[in-house]
Amino acid sequence: MPNDLYSIFLLITLVLLAAVLFIYSIQRFEIAVLLILLAPLLAAIFIPNNASADADSEVGLSSYVKNGIPLMMAIVSIIKYFQYWYMHRGRIPLYLGILSIIVIFALISTTYSIDPDITFIRSIKFFILFLFLIGFYYWIIKEGQTHTFFNTLYIYAIIFIAINLIVIIAMPGKAWWWVAPDRLQGALSHPNDLGGECALIYPVLLWKYAKLKEGESKIFIISCFIIITAFLLLTGSRTSILLSGASVGLWFLFSGKKVQILIWFLALSLALAVLITFTPANLQRGDQDLTTLTGRQDFWSGAITLILERPYTGYGFNVEGKIWEDPRFYDPKLTLWSGSSKTSLHNGYISIAVGLGIVGLVIWVFILFLPIFKIKKKYLNDDFNVALTIMVMLFLSNFVEASIGANTFIFWLSWVIVGIYTFDKLPEKEERKEQNAYAY
């Protein structure tokens, strides 16, 4: 009975909290943005640090948080979309319209998928993301500037750092990966996930640093840089370390800081030379070199073979490693070839080709790169640069990890920001006043 009362009390508390956040998110949409960014982090806290890691099909507190928050915020976004009806009269921008083609394609692929349950779940997640992006787009247009969004990203970065520090101190059994106890995963469920988030936080902190006014203290932001660098090195995620270096370099490049680029390049080259010469234990992968792809090229080759056997439709959206059930490739001794939809192909572009075929891949790549086709030098400013840095960094990461998907909220939000700069025009202050005169 006490356990039942506790469960009922917890459920009522969560429902009330969700109701308050829902209402407040309608009034302040940046809260919805913050919550949808935090959803994967909050969900990962409840994932056990053992072999029974979270899966899309499993029901539990982690699943409720991971899927419930985006669904709730998507409903908030639809409400905002109708509140902004006077602005658009039912229209959506071209690049979001083209993105809907892939969403529909993904949903249709459920009918022939080799794992229809997983395809349906992940397609619905993609659809929920799409709904959120529509409201987010018109919120940015209504705001007339992007500073609020990037300040929300900065708040997310601070919360991310704080939660991981708490987990490291209070929950060390969760913080260190069960497979390799010398690799830090923090509140997340894999060291690579923590490393990837650190790489994304670098340009956000650089943006905030650039926004500091003369006389304002820089100590806090410098401390954040130091902490995420420590996180990054402790994860032992080689891809994330390289991407972090690339993200800082891209920020300097897009900001036109030539001296900083040169200094950063020299420092990064020196750091890589030291790591290659004195490779820490958490960066080693058995007896393989630091620069090895740890067998990725073998299953990329196998995946391409299977793609060519079903080039037009693919095997179903995001079926991932399920294709290794093919007896020509299946090897029960190797987890990467285990024939499970939970297993990543470690290449987001190949993953889309496997799921939706070559035609789907062509549409997907076109959609991803569409916002940068019309980039001009006049767009380069701090807000645009950080969005572009995040986009390009994840373009690169997607070659060795499945870095762009339905749960990569920060990518798609940045993608919309870049699209607004290159395809649309943010209204001037007078135009926003006129719009507000017709607002609800």
List, for residues 230-286, the tens digit of each pLDDT value: 999 899 888 888 888 889 998 888 888 888 888 888 887 887 777 776 666 666 655
Torsion sign (Cα): 27, 29, 32, 34: negative
User: What pLDDT score does 257 carry?
Assistant: 84
User: What pLDDT score does 437 carry?
Assistant: 41
For residue 181, name the pLDDT band (cuts at 50, 70, 90).
Answer: confident
Q: Which residues pair with 288 in a beta bridge?
A: 285
- The three-class DSSP label of residue 184 is strand
User: With contact defined as beta carbons under 8 Å apart, do 228 and 196 qualify?
Assistant: no
List, for residues 405-421, the tens digit of each pLDDT value: 888 899 999 999 999 98
Q: In angstroms, rounded to a whole number, what is the distance separating the alpha carbons of residues 19 and 16?
A: 5
What are the tokens at 215?
A: 């006389």
User: With contact defined as beta carbons under 8 Å apart, do 39 and 65 qualify?
Assistant: yes
CA dihedral 110, 116, 122, 123 (to 10 degrees): 10
Cα Rg of the chain, angstroms? 22
Per residue, what are the HEC states of 81-127?
HHHCHHHHCCCCCHHHHHHHHHHHHHHHHHHCCCCHHHHHHHHHHHH
User: What pLDDT score does 13 carry?
Assistant: 82
Quick one: DSSP state of residue 314? -
What are the tokens at 226?
A: 């130091």
Entry pTM:
0.88
Percentage of residues of the chain with pLDDT beyond 90: 39
What are the tokens at 297?
A: 């090229």
List, for residues 97-133, the tens digit of each pLDDT value: 999 999 999 999 999 998 898 899 999 999 999 999 9
User: With contact defined as beta carbons under 8 Å apart, do 142 and 151 qualify?
Assistant: no
**How many other C-beta atoms are found inside a 10 Å radius of the C-beta of residue 340?**
17
List, for residues 324-335, the tens digit of each pLDDT value: 777 766 666 555
User: With contact defined as beta carbons under 8 Å apart, do 353 and 376 qualify?
Assistant: no
Q: Identify the residue with better confidence: 428 or 243.
A: 243
For residue 291, name the pLDDT band (cuts at 50, 70, 90).
Answer: very low
User: With contact defined as beta carbons under 8 Å apart, do 227 and 399 qualify?
Assistant: no
Average pLDDT of the chain, as a whole number: 83
List, for residues 344-385, the tens digit of each pLDDT value: 788 889 899 989 999 999 999 999 999 888 787 777 788 889
User: What pLDDT score does 436 carry?
Assistant: 46
User: What pLDDT score does 201 carry?
Assistant: 95
Q: Is the pLDDT of residue 58 over 70?
A: no
Residue with tokens 């987890």: 335
Residue closest to 41 by CA, chosen among 413, 400, 410? 410
